[in-house]
A and B are shown apart, each in its own frame.
Chain A
């Protein structure tokens, strides 16, 4: 496990080294060295604001993402199973999907003001479409022999859904959740940069506005990256569940 992480760590260290050399070589008065970023992070940790910012961002992501799951999974299953539902809703899904959640910011502010509701709405928008699309794909790609076997045994509709359709689509749903959470994290930071007074996005913009504190700006960026990595690792663990491994094992 540790041994396998060595190449990845080496790349990170190499990048940090190049960064450090560049800053020193160019005598940049503003761009921080890695050491300055570490110091800035420690400063944020000491005055306690770092956890507040991370907590605020995570709360918004969690809320928007969960609402998206609650909407997208049932909708996606329905659209995937019922042709008519697919024909009715797929065009509108495909039409709304390419609109960047960033484009919704003015409307979010108009509807929800600058409280937590705005970024939660934007997170919801960013997560819901990829998750619907993956769930529909999951249902559409169920192999025919499984549906036939279920039909052969003449089971109830409920059993068909609970024991065949949903578990068969689950691996795709999990992929969708991973994509959706990644986008959600991307969007929360962008949304906070524009509209709010807490969160990692706010930290970055505020640090720049309040005296060009680029050490804090980069510290914020690094923390966003690390948190995103942790979130993805968490989602990845779901792919290890015994009931879905059949799909990924190939």
Chain B
């Protein structure tokens, strides 16, 4: 399969009080077209920074990111970020949020928005506002708003970490079901090893800051995945060992 995203020798430091703080210390990474890659690492190791660079919101000091073979200039609607903090516009209704990325003159606008709201199980909430929805519903709105513009890549930054365990699991299952119908290349940032095993084809473990790639695991489990299976447990133990646990 051709590589969709290629990161080559990425380095990044931030200026802080008394000098520079190296955050990413050389990362090479290739994500195949249609592949689901999870990037796990300890808190503060530089995961969000790496994702921002991959998605074009931040520039590396050294190295480059290519998408479909072309050097990434800035963010584009080809790859939509599901942010850690949530970015459903609270001043717009769910429906207006769905329309945000679409052309106002598109005659299919309504049916497309309807389709994706149905897909995430939120039909009937079109007129609702963010503060009237639960955390899990908000995540699903954000996902639907991303999917409706038909992005080729989804960048997800700890999208489930603000949800309670049960809602998180339920939302994950739902996202996997949707991704099964539509082909996307996915990059998922997480600090939850189980979440990575549940969703990804490949798991990349980052070292503590400054981040480098410490280990890579393939996830050979068939879908839908049974997290209680022995293979899953063995893999989880192997990944956790990378964290020194």
Known: A155-B100, A243-B91, A246-B130. A148 touches B57 (CB 8 A): yes
Known: A149-B87, A249-B131. A155 touches B92 (CB 8 A): no
Q: Does B86 contact A (CB under 8 A)?
A: yes
Q: Does B149 contact A (CB under 8 A)?
A: yes
Once the chains bind, are A153 and B81 in contact (CB under 8 Å)? no
Binds B, one of A85-93, A105-113, A162-170, A190-198: A162-170
Known: A153-B100, A155-B100, A163-B100. A246 touches B80 (CB 8 A): no
Q: Does B101 contact A (CB under 8 A)?
A: yes
Once the chains bind, are A245 and B131 in contact (CB under 8 Å)? yes
Number of interface residues of A (CB under 8 A): 24
B contact residues around A154 at 8 Å (CB): 75-77, 101
* Chain A contact residues, majority secondary structure: helix
A170 to B80, CA, bound (A): 27
Q: Does B85 contact A (CB under 8 A)?
A: yes
Q: Does A146 contact B (CB under 8 A)?
A: yes
Of the candidates B89, B91, B149, the one having the most CB atoms from chain A within 10 angstroms of its own CB is B91
Once the chains bind, are A152 and B91 in contact (CB under 8 Å)? no
Q: Using an 8 Å CB-CB cutoff, how does the interface string of B111-155 with A read, 1 for contact, 0 for none?
A: 000000000000000000111000000000000000001000000
Once the chains bind, are B92 and A167 in contact (CB under 8 Å)? yes
B contact residues around A152 at 8 Å (CB): 55, 75-77, 80-81
Report A246 CB to chain B, min CB distance, Å.
4
* Chain B contact residues, majority secondary structure: loop
Known: A153-B149, A245-B131. A164 touches B89 (CB 8 A): yes
A contact residues around B92 at 8 Å (CB): 163, 167, 243
A contact residues around B13 at 8 Å (CB): none
Once the chains bind, are A244 and B91 in contact (CB under 8 Å)? yes
Once the chains bind, are B83 and A246 in contact (CB under 8 Å)? no
Q: Does A83 contact B (CB under 8 A)?
A: no
Once the chains bind, are A151 and B75 in contact (CB under 8 Å)? yes
Once the chains bind, are B100 and A145 in contact (CB under 8 Å)? no
Report B201 CB to chain A, min CB distance, Å.
24
B contact residues around A146 at 8 Å (CB): 87, 89
The 6 nearest A-B residue pairs measured at CB: A246-B90, A153-B101, A149-B87, A167-B91, A145-B87, A154-B77
- 4 more CB-based (< 8 A) A-B contacts, given A153-B80, A155-B101: A145-B86, A146-B89, A152-B80, A246-B130
13 A–B contacts from the bound complex (CB under 8 Å): A145-B85, A145-B86, A148-B57, A148-B81, A148-B83, A148-B87, A149-B87, A150-B100, A154-B76, A154-B77, A155-B100, A164-B89, A247-B90
The interface of chain B, by Cβ under 8 A from chain A, is 55, 57, 74-77, 80-81, 83, 85-87, 89-92, 96, 100-101, 129-131, 149
